[in-house]
């Protein structure tokens, strides 16, 4: 059963269309991420589900009930904002208990639930503080407690980690995911950070310019991008022109610029129908650099020249010249990174690659 369903939802602001005809279903208890760059329509979508914006067209339902005309305060949703949005004039306990005041919950029961919510986010000792006395991470955990204490039908998270420091962000993301799992609330998470999306989601919905580019589990979205946008947005990908030579049940034969002829599994190019122009996708992490004289193995090997090195500590990003094209590769560093100007042997495994139809072939509607 789906908890949240959007059917042909469109949102226009004047002549600008922020969300194009969008339909999706979010299964009960799942953690779904709307991922995309700013201005892609992800926050607009979330705000329509929340009831802070009215869709121009289409229906939104929660637990099977159409809620287009239900005002936000009757939707029973938990909302967590990027800037915490705690009530600065109320104590932590009063912040968390705020939603219970409007839900005819007996006082003793309300106090108990506030205490439980604070224990859930591991901050029961801060009940009598004011928000201004808390750190950013603590404030966001209180905001989460405030949103879940009302036992919402859906938890909506609008970039909740973006205002936190890098280290804290990674800890919070594990904690947030744990809490979500423990209480099992259906959650919709909005972010522009691909690593957050990959780490936390059951399903990722990649959006661009108001359209859904791809929907699927993190691994599928990462390994088999449906569009060039998805390939480029989730980590660095190299995209090369190619020619599909023939399609069998198991494999697709490709002639790739710079790499020559190779065959990739059929599953890695689900949208490639037959022979003709295509685009070849290889992730920067999947291109392996070896010394020029390294012995051959089962991988495809081509010589390339290191043009620039971006040293990142445990790994390095290389900019490589292969014929007339520049490629990117991210490799772990073994002792020393390759120096600029070095000729290296570039290796790849066909099963790490994917292929898309040639440009202009937008066929996902």
Partner 1 sequence: MMRGAGWQAIRLYAICVYLFMFLPVAVVVLLSFNASHFGAFPMTGFSFRWFATLWQNEAVMRAFRTSLILGGLTALISTTLGVLAALALVRYTVRARNLVATVLIAPLLVPEVVLAVALLLFLNFAGIGKSMPMLLAGHVIFTLPFVFLVVQARLVGIRRDIEEAALSLGASPVQTFFSVTLPLLMPAVAAGALFAFTISFDNITGTLFWKPGGVETVPTQIFAMLRHSISPEINALGTVMIVMTVGLPLLGAALARKLAMKRGG
Binding site for partner 1 (CB under 8 A): 50-52, 71-79, 81, 83, 85-89, 98-99, 101-103, 129-130, 132-133, 143, 146-147, 150
Minimum Å gap between C-beta 19 and partner 1 is 19
Minimum Å gap between C-beta 67 and partner 1 is 13
Minimum Å gap between C-beta 85 and partner 1 is 4
Instruction: CB nearer to partner 1: give 36 or 99.
Output: 99
Minimum Å gap between C-beta 243 and partner 1 is 51
- Residues 42 and 49: their CA atoms lie apart, in Å, by 11
Instruction: CB nearer to partner 1: give 48 or 86.
Output: 86
The total number of residues shown for the chain amounts to 365
- Residues 194 and 54: their CA atoms lie apart, in Å, by 28
Instruction: CB nearer to partner 1: give 115 or 129.
Output: 129
Burial class (CB in 10 A: 0-12, 13-18, 19+), 360: exposed
Minimum Å gap between C-beta 36 and partner 1 is 20
CA-based nearest residue to 9, from 48, 66, 63: 48
Minimum Å gap between C-beta 84 and partner 1 is 9
- The residues near 303 (Cβ < 8 Å, ≥ 6 apart) are 292, 343, 344, 345, 346
Instruction: CB nearer to partner 1: give 50 or 355.
Output: 50
Burial class (CB in 10 A: 0-12, 13-18, 19+), 188: buried
Longest dimension (CA), the chain: 76
- The residues near 54 (Cβ < 8 Å, ≥ 6 apart) are 48, 68
- Residues 258 and 255: their CA atoms lie apart, in Å, by 9
Instruction: CB nearer to partner 1: give 64 or 71.
Output: 71
Minimum Å gap between C-beta 51 and partner 1 is 8
Instruction: CB nearer to partner 1: give 81 or 319.
Output: 81
Instruction: CB nearer to partner 1: give 79 or 353.
Output: 79
CB atoms under 10 Å from CB of 133, counted, come to: 12
Burial class (CB in 10 A: 0-12, 13-18, 19+), 38: exposed
With contact defined as beta carbons under 8 Å apart, do 339 and 316 qualify? no
- Residues 361 and 263: their CA atoms lie apart, in Å, by 22
Q: What is the DSSP string of 318-359?
A: EEEEETTEEEEEEEE-SSSPPPTT-EEEEEE-GGG-EEEEPT
Minimum Å gap between C-beta 275 and partner 1 is 53
Instruction: CB nearer to partner 1: give 17 or 83.
Output: 83
Q: Write a three-state SS string for 177-206.
A: HHHHHHHCCEEEEEECCHHHHHHHCCEEEE
Minimum Å gap between C-beta 34 and partner 1 is 18
Instruction: CB nearer to partner 1: give 99 or 337.
Output: 99
């Amino acid at each position: 059963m789906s908890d949240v369903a959007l059917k042909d939802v469109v949102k226009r602001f004047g002549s600008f269309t922020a969300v194009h005809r969008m339909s999706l279903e979010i299964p009960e208890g799942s953690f779904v991420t709307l991922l995309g760059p700013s201005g892609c329509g992800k926050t607009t979508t979330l705000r329509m589900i929340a009831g802070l914006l009215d869709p121009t067209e289409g229906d939104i339902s929660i637990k099977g009930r159409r809620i287009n005309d239900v005002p936000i305060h009757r939707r029973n949703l938990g909302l967590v904002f990027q800037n915490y949005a705690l009530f600065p004039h109320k104590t932590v306990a009063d912040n968390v208990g705020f939603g219970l005041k409007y839900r005819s919950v007996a006082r003793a029961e309300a106090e108990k639930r506030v205490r439980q919510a604070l224990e859930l986010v591991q901050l029961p000792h801060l009940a009598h503080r004011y928000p201004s006395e808390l750190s950013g991470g603590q404030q966001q955990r209180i905001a989460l407690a405030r949103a879940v204490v009302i036992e919402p039908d859906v938890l909506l998270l609008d970039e909740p980690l973006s205002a936190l420091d890098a280290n804290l962000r990674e800890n919070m993301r594990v904690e947030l995911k744990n809490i979500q799992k423990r209480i099992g609330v259906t959650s919709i998470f909005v972010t522009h950070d691909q690593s957050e999306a990959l780490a936390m989601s059951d399903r990722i919905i990649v959006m661009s310019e108001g359209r859904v580019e791809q929907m699927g589990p993190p691994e599928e979205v990462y390994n088999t991008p449906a569009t060039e946008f998805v390939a480029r947005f989730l980590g660095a990908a190299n995209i090369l022109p190619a020619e599909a030579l023939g399609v069998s049940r198991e494999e697709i034969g490709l002639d790739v610029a710079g790499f020559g002829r190779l065959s990739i599994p059929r599953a890695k190019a689900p949208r490639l129908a037959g022979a003709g122009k295509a685009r070849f996708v290889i992730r920067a992490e999947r291109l392996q650099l070896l010394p020029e004289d390294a012995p051959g193995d089962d991988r495809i090997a081509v010589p390339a020249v290191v043009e620039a090195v971006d040293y990142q500590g445990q790994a390095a990003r290389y900019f490589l010249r292969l014929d007339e094209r520049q490629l990117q590769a991210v490799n772990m560093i073994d002792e020393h990174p390759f120096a600029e100007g070095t000729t290296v042997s570039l290796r790849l495994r066909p099963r790490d690659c994917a292929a898309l139809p040639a440009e202009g072939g937008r066929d996902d509607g």
